[in-house]
Chain A
Amino acid sequence: MNQTLTVKDPFGTATTGKLAMWLFLAMDAITFAAILMGGIYLRLRTDMWGDAGQVLNIPLTSFNTFLLIMSSFTMVMALDAIKKNDIKGLKLFLSLTILGGVSFLGIQIYEYAHFIIGNAELGQALQATGLKGDSFLWTSGTYGATFYATTSFHGLHVLTGVIYLSVIFYQSNKGMYSSANYDRIEIAGLFWHFVDLVWILVFTIIYLI
């Protein structure tokens, strides 16, 4: 009886921080799932659901989707840079990622403003689905409520990600990271990719189908 005692570890060498982030993302994914499924449930019960092609601006949002996917790509590049101990590259790609997030938010705010101010054309599109008024608001039936709840919840995630990555940027500026120490950047990356991935689902469900 002289075996060495170990803990069998089903999670490989993941740090506790990374494991915690995975758990958080799982919970976050469930929250999104609840909101999206709630929206689908409401949609199936009503015939007053907006025609996305007429109410929403699909080309603009497609461009926004492209921006977010690109920012995920630059995030990968940022991680790649620090693995090679390239601090300059890390800072460059981090700022590009942050820029992508900020632009996404800007376009989303523009989109909201457009809906809230409203115009006759939008009013017609809404009328076709049985909704009243010239502006498209969260009180515009369950369609409006679902649209705003889903997209703004995602927008909050992008905002959180931008702040999160700005903190990481500030820390890289102070020289906290190196090729031997980049776990936190990897964890932040997980969050950012998740936000991107969820957007593709939101985009598909709210804008495309």
Chain B
Amino acid sequence: MSGHQKSFWTKYIFSTDHKMIAKQFLWLGMFFLFFGGALAMLIRWQLGYPEQPVPLIGNWMWPGDGGIINPDIYNQMFTMHGTIMIFWAITPLLIGAFGNFIIPLQIGAGDMAFPKLNLFSFWTMFLASLILLSSYLLPTGTAAGGWTSYPPLSSPAGGIPGLGQTIWTVALIFMGVSSMMGAINYITTVVRMRAPGMDYFKMPLSVWGLFLTSILNAVFVPVIAAGLVMLLLDQTIGTEFFLAGRLASGDPGDPLLFQHVFWIFGHPEVYILILPVWGIISDLLSVFSRKPAFGYRVTAIAMCTVTALSTLVWGHHMYTTGMSPLLGKSFMFLTLLISIPSAMFFLNWLGTMWKGSIHFTSPMLFSIGVIWVFGLGGLTGLYNATITADIYLHDTMFVVGHFHYTLAASVMFGSFAAIYFWFPRMFGRKLDSRLGKIHFWGTFISINFVFFNMMVLGYAGHHRRIYNPSEYSFLEPLTGLNEWISIFSFLLGVFQVVFLINMVWSMFKKERSPQNPWKATTLEWTMDYPIPHGNFEETPLVHNGPHEYSRPDIKDRDWLGQNERITV
């Protein structure tokens, strides 16, 4: 807590205040969300209107091809769409921005345990972003081996030509280092910086979700880091860890080793991204139903169980690699087991809302949206987890639809809910609720149309990475559906612009939000805006759990703050 006189640089750029770093992550994530979204729409253009010039920007972007997206560019697009959305949009938004913003505030800490490490974490991420974007400047373009970057596609021998794939690997290693710094910081903060009285089972579920996410990050990012370094050695100094067959000069390495390493990390990564959402909406549903979260402890323990199980199921991404049936069945069994704890907190969400007095605010709408899209995503996951079904569905648009329901739709809805909910704490103003409703319904309808019908496409045999579906006669009946999915995906993009306008406009509007506009109980609402560096004037004492709503023994209001004490 240095003096009040701060230069522009130490206040906005090299700040060690977790709230400012949260905002930096927020804008970084928003930038890449729109970048990745634009790529998605271009991919959809090619699939809906194959090899037709892209309207408006086509001739400007690719004059040599007459405004058409050529196959190489198309491969680069889906590769970068996946990479950017997962590692540069969702990760900074949920973990970087909201992890930073709400963990210290909700547990009653003055800042993160290591503010400087936090600063380094952001700037490492920023550097990683520059490295990633710089690959677009290469004459051969950026990475094109898919977001999974399986060798040999990602090896220089027999893979994607040029440096793009190497730069991609370097960028991801830096991104991983940033995540690991964040993980150390978040875990230490939660373990050591909780205010007096804030037991683990008094923490808001948002903190639980972010805490478990950090643990998974700490355990599995090192695995992918090791794998990526080995891949980088293959790409640069000629080792042959992942090269086999004719590509290898001598005794063979094994491309499957990379798949194992990738998915040992890759499956938990799904939970790294979704756990904060589970936590956040568990809290928000309680706030806007004005009822305690149903089965708080069960939800927390179920989330821990999923976290533990998620470490043992990576093989379900590899059923078609010829693994032994016994191993395959074990992976299938463990994967299906995850549906039990998931169903527990899913039912708890419904239990929270049951007979509550529900306030349909924008954050609540998006939280309910999560229940719907995550429900569908979870249920369709059962098909992919089952070997017999998966062998047919593997690498089809069904898989794409499924993981977009769980990752894109659930996680985006969760991020939106979080932004609508905590915006008054971050910027002192509420987001406009009418624009919020337009944003929600527009997004909800178009996102469901897009991803549900992707699963229909996949069920009909549409492969996930083909360039031009009109070249296959068996896909001809799907032409119309492909076109409609594209139209709805453009609509989806338009509704996100509504959101961006709402954000920028609300940030600068005159009307201030009250200190605790949602009448929430958690500690981040107990101080005036702007929240000072150091957060709490004096360390708060925590007397209650996080969901004290509608207590019958309190007459004049329907909530009781975590730091308040009732005198009976």
Contact = CB atoms under 8 A, between A and B. Distances in A.
Q: A and B: partners?
A: yes
B328 interface: no
**What is the interface residue range for chain B against chain A?**
35 or more
A184 B230 CA distance: 33
Interface in A150-178: 153
A73 interface: no
Interface string B229-241: 1100100011111
B213 to A, nearest CB: 14
Nearest to A26: B218
A95 to B, nearest CB: 29
A15 B154 CA distance: 43
Contacts of B554: none
A165 to B, nearest CB: 21
A143 B252 CA distance: 10
A138 B250 CA distance: 12
Nearest to A152: B233
A135 B238 CA distance: 15
Contact of A138 (B195, B238, B565): B238
A27 B237 contact: no
Contacts of B180: 27
Contact of A5 (B183, B197, B230, B261): B197
A38 B184 contact: no
Contacts of A143: 251
Contacts of B237: 138-139
B431 to A, nearest CB: 35
B387 interface: no
A107 B226 CA distance: 25
A36 to B, nearest CB: 9
B184 A30 contact: no
B219 A30 contact: yes
Contacts, number: 124
A16 B113 contact: yes
Nearest to A138: B239
B226 A132 contact: no
Give the one of A7, A46, A131, A139 with max B CB within 10 A. A7
Given A7-B196, A31-B225, A142-B252, A23 B187 contact: yes
Contacts of A144: 239
A145 interface: yes
B196 A5 contact: yes
Nearest to B542: A5
B218 A27 contact: yes
Given A27-B222, A41-B254, A20 B184 contact: yes
A34 interface: yes
B233 A20 contact: no
Given A20-B188, A31-B222, A132 B250 contact: yes
Give the one of B113, B196, B226, B257 with max A CB within 10 A. B226
A81 B302 CA distance: 48
Interface string A23-46: 110111011001100100110011
Contact of B261 (A11, A28, A38, A47): A38
Contacts of A46: 251-252
Nearest to A130: B251
A153 B230 CA distance: 11
Interface of B: 113-114, 117, 180, 183-185, 187-188, 191-200, 218-223, 225-227, 229-230, 233, 237-241, 249-254, 257, 260-261, 264, 541-543, 565
Given A19-B188, A31-B222, A138-B237, 14 more contacts: A5-B541, A16-B113, A16-B192, A23-B218, A31-B226, A34-B226, A34-B227, A35-B226, A38-B241, A38-B257, A42-B253, A42-B254, A130-B250, A145-B233
Interface of A: 1, 5-11, 16, 19-20, 23-24, 26-28, 30-31, 34-35, 38, 41-42, 45-48, 130-132, 138-146, 148-149, 153
